[in-house]
Amino acid sequence: MEKQRFSLLLLDPGEFFFEDFSAVMVKIGVADEESPSVEQLGRIKMCSKSIVFDPKDLAKPLLKMPLKECTSINEWDGKYPVKSSLQKNAIAVVVKQYVQMLEGNVIAPYKFISRETTFLFSLNYMKVSDVLPHFCQLHRASGLPVVEHNSMIAAIVFSRQSRVPFDHLWLEDLYEEVVMEVQGSRITPLVSNPGRILLTDLCLYFQPFNNIEQYPVLKIYLRDIKTVVKRRFLLRRVGLELYCGGHGRVQHLLLCLSSQVERDQLHDRIRGQSVTSLEETNQEVMTLRWQNGVISNYEYLQYLNSMADRTYNDLTQYPVFPWVLNDHSSEDLNFDDPASYRDLSKPVGALNPVRLKRLKERYEEMPPPKFLYGSHYSAPGFVLFYLVRKYPHYMLCLQNGRFDHPDRMFNSVRDVWKNVQSNMADFKELVPEFYDVDGEGDFCNNFFGIDFGRRHDGSRVADVELPGWARDSKDFVRKMRNALESDYVSNHLHTWIDLIFGYKQHGEEAVKADNVFYHLCYEGAVDLDSVKDPNQRHALEVQIMEFGQIPKQVFTLPHPSRIQRIPQHHIAEQDAKLMEGAMESRGSAPLQPMGNDPLQQHRDAVSAVAISKKEPIGSGAEWHIFSVGQDSLLKIHQVPGGQQVRSAAVSSAALSACAPLLLHTPHHADQAPVSSTLVVVGSWDNTVAIYDMEYGRVVEHVKLHDDAVSCLAWVEHLGTEEESDAAAPLLATGSWDGSVRLWRILAPLSPISPIRLLLSHPARSLVAQLDHEARVTCIDHSKSARLLASGTEDGDLTLWCMQTLSLKHRLEGHSSSSVSAVRFSPDGLRLVSCGMDSYFRVFDLKTRMQVYSKAMDEQLGCLAWDSSYLLLGGRQGSLYVWDLVGVTLVQQIGAHRGAVTCLAVSSDGSIVVSGGEDRRVLVWSIKAAPQHS
């Protein structure tokens, strides 16, 4: 599909886009009748209040012609000299004013051109007689008074939409049963796009009435829906938001229906389908978890915002977060000083006693319905005030193609904080982005390089000026987050919750707390469905849009205070909880912790783990546990006991993989045994290092790829079975450069020649290169199957023959989601893969058929497979143990804080090792699976 610049954000609020046509446009101004402008190929957009021309040349501006500014729309009469080919099948639009948008494909304020201009549109594939009547009808409507205009547009919209049925060719299955069909709109920030909603027993479909959406029909599998939440929209209970897991086309979808009855029916029928499996979250449980420090302040506020109908899809109900800091001017921020924090028991408008006194004086003199604050703490304009650098196109839509005055923009955190404490009309709180460490404070930086204008002192509006205690935007949001999770805020946050979501939100308690806002912003203040006058209803909707809405009340009694908070680094409590959860898995569960403590942890996320039999060093340990991490360290432990044998920095970059050299039995009696003291380590700096455990040093460090080395595997032999014992193992390295390379790193064995490393001569040691179309993320080798399997970032699964070093098969893959891990079954007959689409898939290698697939509740980052069980590591910290004989999930453990990044199982299937983003390496014992009849 061609990428287009046109979007509904370029139209007026509430304007409809109907359809578009291919055309050639010529602009003819009054002053240049003798020399017509250059032709432009593009598309005419027919909208309810305007005509928009979207040129194919991205350097040319989009042209918007408001219908109320058009003096005539007629078939071209050939009055001006243009090419004869353009005089046929053409429409002439004469306007008094038009708008230029996105000139040079750059986001900038719109240009309003006020002069009479004639636009000639020569239609390419449509006849004028089929198009012109519709334009003329919309043009006539634009000249009517507001009431008649709205009625006529509503009639046109109803007529058009009634003639558009749902296209059943888009159904997922031939036998899919239709459960419900209804008209509704998809809501995105500042945009409401109408369409047809179809619910079946398998999927939910949204088919827009126009072609503006990325997909002709948006399809959501009911099995992927995790949560369905009823929402308000413009103070009406007609919204329904769906949150989805996996890697579908949308992660969450907000729909608006025509009535509460239809909304409730759709909600109940989605929940009632057999394939729907929702994650139920109890409000009391969440509050208790917050009280006990199980979830953070940030997580709890996100949850409360969702419960109160706040959503990122609706700027009128955007999530609201508090100002927590009072200190935005010092060079050093003291988290332990109460003076650094804002008084959370008071609304923003009551923080300054002098201003509050003046507001109360006005309040006393005001006739009912009284309000203390004439402005709200969260409204679309305030949200975009903070986020204009991140979403400039939203601001242009909200303010009719203009940015705010440079001196009134979000230029300085310190100045905004001063203003909300002193200005008689500024009481805004914050948005979640101020505390979102994943977003890294990108809303503070003018990454688009937009010209917002110059301030009164001549300086350009650039990045936001941050407090002195913040080095940059990342440091700013990190310290803001630390402040939000501080002891002071944890002990007082419940008082702010009472004001925003609780019993002090309205009524007598709100009056006592100086927390009274304009009456229209409260839920239930006005019943829009009962307002029959279109003008009055439109005026109320505009007021609600501009002023803001109070969150839905969640609590009617005082909110409980927090008992304890999560410590700064979440270590002690979380470790105890996770170990407690692991201990609960003892007994009949196959996976059990070995000891109560993890091995000595890394300083950063663990990237890979491996297990091998202990050979010449140490004393009495049966296994060596190898782990590498993003802290550039290789750690070696022996188990049982957990004693650390080695800890070495083998590279200056983050490490990605490790592979200890396998022990080989000599082919001849007079040959010396092969030492297993060597470990190969892959790194993000494109290199591979070989570390000798016996001597504690790196013996080779060589660049082997053009990008990061992402995975390693040993390929034990090439050629016939008779040659296998004598052949030295090959090293397979996978890389982000899209290749897997095979290296002979050891000289051939002989009784008179010691082992020599050959990797320092890559040109001589390279055996083969296997090319892929995307980054290689994982590899595995099967000696019995004589195959190498590889997975890539774009979801491909490939099998390579190790005898011919050629491509053997391509498997079904993971739907354009990164493959996290691949493993052969011990007998080499099957292959299992897992990916970021939350699926694991099992393939029969003889038929290359996918014999089983399962979607888990989280993205999958790693796996291991022994003779008994398949083990999967989730991105939310879970370990899953599957019995693939009985095809059942036999155990699930919350093992790590954050993602489980790597798994390894010992050769005898008795020990499992897991590593995670939480820097820990855990060792588990695993019991053999029961025999199935």
The residue-averaged pLDDT of 895-922 equals 91
Residue 618 region by backbone torsions, left for phi larger than 0, else alpha for psi between -120 and 50, else beta: left
Confidence class of residue 618 from pLDDT cuts 50, 70 and 90? very low
Inform me whether the pLDDT recorded for 35 exceeds 50. no
Angle at 601 between CA 595 and CA 602, to 5 degrees: 155
Which stretch of 267-276, 473-482, 748-757 has the lowest confidence by average pLDDT? 748-757
**DSSP letters for 386-451:** HHTTT-HHHHHHHTTT-PPPGGGSS-BHHHHHHHHHH-TT----B-GGGG-TTTTTGGGS-TT---
Q: Which residues contact 873 (CB under 8 A, 6 or more apart)?
A: 860, 861, 862, 863, 879, 880, 895, 899, 900, 901, 902, 903, 914, 916
| Backbone CA torsion sign across 307, 308, 314, 318 | negative
Helix (H) or strand (E) holding 765: helix 762-765
Whole-number pLDDT of residue 703? 92
Count CA within 13 A, CB hemisphere, residue 189. 20
Q: Which residues contact 613 (CB under 8 A, 6 or more apart)?
A: 622, 623, 624, 663, 676, 907
Whole-number pLDDT of residue 29? 62
d(CA 391, CA 5): 15
**Do 177 and 145 form a contact (C-beta atoms < 8 A)?**
no
CATH number of 288-547: 1.10.1540.10
Q: Which residues contact 85 (CB under 8 A, 6 or more apart)?
A: 122
| Backbone CA torsion sign across 372, 377, 381, 386 | positive
d(CA 868, CA 846): 21
Whole-number pLDDT of residue 225? 92
d(CA 884, CA 679): 32
Inform me whether the pLDDT recorded for 857 exceeds 80. yes
> 8-161: which CATH architecture?
Roll (2.30)
Inform me whether the pLDDT recorded for 726 exceeds 70. no
Confidence class of residue 715 from pLDDT cuts 50, 70 and 90? confident
Domain boundaries, the chain: 8-161, 165-280, 288-547, 601-721+742-766
In tens, the pLDDT along 118-152 reads 999 999 999 999 999 999 999 999 999 887 888 89
Whole-number pLDDT of residue 288? 65
Summary mean pLDDT of the chain: 86
d(CA 486, CA 484): 6
165-280: same fold as 8-161?
A: yes
Q: Which residues contact 488 (CB under 8 A, 6 or more apart)?
A: 338, 340, 341
Maximum mean pLDDT: which of 209-218, 465-474, 520-529: 465-474
- Yes or no: domain 165-280 corresponds to CATH 2.30.29.30: yes
- 134-173 burial code (b ≥16 CB/10 A, e <16): ebeebbebbeeeeeebbebbeebeeebeeeeebeeeebee
Whole-number pLDDT of residue 148? 84
**Other beta carbons less than 10 A from residue 268's beta carbon:** 11
**Do 872 and 880 form a contact (C-beta atoms < 8 A)?**
yes
Inform me whether the pLDDT recorded for 38 exceeds 60. yes
In tens, the pLDDT along 585-608 reads 434 678 888 876 778 889 999 999
Inform me whether the pLDDT recorded for 304 exceeds 80. yes
**Other beta carbons less than 10 A from residue 756's beta carbon:** 10
d(CA 882, CA 840): 11
In tens, the pLDDT along 765-776 reads 899 999 999 999
Q: Which H, E and C letters describe 156-201, residue by residue? A: HHHHHHHCCCCCHHHCCCCCCCEEEEEEEEEEECCEEEEEEEEEEC
In tens, the pLDDT along 623-674 reads 889 999 999 999 999 888 778 888 999 888 999 999 987 544 444 444 444 4
The residue-averaged pLDDT of 853-867 equals 87
Helix (H) or strand (E) holding 48: none
Inform me whether the pLDDT recorded for 455 exceeds 70. yes
- Yes or no: domain 601-721+742-766 corresponds to CATH 2.130.10.10: yes
Closest CA to 68 of 128, 149, 156: 149
Whole-number pLDDT of residue 748? 52
Whole-number pLDDT of residue 863? 94
Q: 14 or 228, which is more confident?
A: 228
Whole-number pLDDT of residue 608? 95
Confidence class of residue 466 from pLDDT cuts 50, 70 and 90? very high
931 CA to centre of own chain = 43
In tens, the pLDDT along 148-164 reads 888 898 899 988 888 88
